[in-house]
A = this chain, B = another copy of it.
Amino acid sequence: MIIVMKEKATREQIDAVCKRLVELGFKTHPIFGQEKTVIGAIGDKKALSSEAIINLQGVEKIVPIMKPYKLVSKELKDTPTIVRVGGVPVGGHGVVVMAGPCAVENEEQLLIAAKAVKAAGAKILRGGAFKPRTSPYSFQGLEEEGLKLLARVRDEVGLPFVTEVVDTREVSTVADYADAIQIGARNMQNFCLLKEAGATGKPILLKRGLSATVEEWLMAAEYILDSGNSNVILCERGIRTFETASRFTLDLSAVAIVRENTHLPVIVDPSHATGNWRLVSPLAKAAIAAGADGLIIEVHPDPVRALCDGPQSLHPETFEYLMTDLDPVATAVGRTLT
């Protein structure tokens, strides 16, 4: 940690900061520049939050040197983590596609969707039973009934499934049914939910918050790893910017940054990112080219009549074309569409 003193900081102020740092168990290394003094502080970083120093007289700013995350960091674990969702590995050489409807509406809809996405090559089924909706007047999901349908369809079709949990009280119920638990973008900093979901030991699909920095996203993952569960799949799903031509702005740089800094697999959700099915295909290809370990894509047997997110859902036939298109892109970057 580096403490930058103000230009007019007095010698007494500098000494006071050093004294406080020593009290807190640090060794101090002041560097007296021509205009400003900076103080290097060496010691156990857990002992010091910048907040203990920043308000001292004469301090201009604190510069952290260490990254705030540990367990998710590549510096701790150099080999990629492979997360197994019902037997399907996410994070290795292969590129995995998860697909299915935004919300589970009924058995028929789900079954048709599941069969179609499996036939096209998807390896994991997605479908929402608990839906966080902006409006209290929108369809909120079938809840536990939806989980039962997902489990029944999984058994019939042979695809493990991932589904979202939105309430700490429902975590164990969701874990009873699901092969992987999704933490949605709006709950990325619902720390209680992170801990509770982490504690189940199930694979966790952690969506990036819609205005979360990459660092905050990794800190959210850190909560899950800190609860003893390292089966975390990160999912970039677009961030909120001023642009309104797409629903969110898909941040593929984040995929590359995450791959450089962590050992966790990272996938991309082009459906929510764009909010427009016509943009799903180019962005899905781009995501794989950028190095994503997988995709999660919304597919609905009849998007026109979907109860949720119809505009961004692919028709099964369009999804089939997309899968055909993705294969050579995965190959081009030295991977395989599993």
Contacts and interface: CB of A to CB of B under 8 A. Distances in A.
Interface residues of A, number: 102
Contacts of A163: none
A134 B216 contact: yes
A256 interface: yes
Given A167-B192, A213-B245, A239-B249, A285 B35 contact: no
Given A55-B311, A211-B210, A282-B289, A253 B273 contact: yes
A286 B284 CA distance: 9
Contacts of A306: 51, 55
A189 interface: yes
A4 interface: yes
A169 B166 contact: no
Interface string A255-270: 1110110000000000
Given A283-B256, A285-B333, A213 B243 contact: yes
Nearest to A7: B75
Given A303-B55, A310-B54, A310-B55, A249 B253 contact: yes
A303 B214 CA distance: 27
Contact of A168 (B55, B168, B246, B249): B168
Interface string A223-267: 100100000000000011111111001111111110110000000
A68 interface: yes
Contacts of A63: 2, 63
Interface in A58-83: 63, 65-66, 68, 75
Interface string A7-46: 1100000000000000000000101011110101011001
A278 interface: yes
A173 interface: no
Contacts of A285: 289-290, 332-333
Contact of A243 (B214, B283, B311, B331): B214
Contacts of A307: 51
Most chain B CB within 10 A, of A38, A167, A252, is at: A252
A158 interface: no
B328 A331 contact: yes
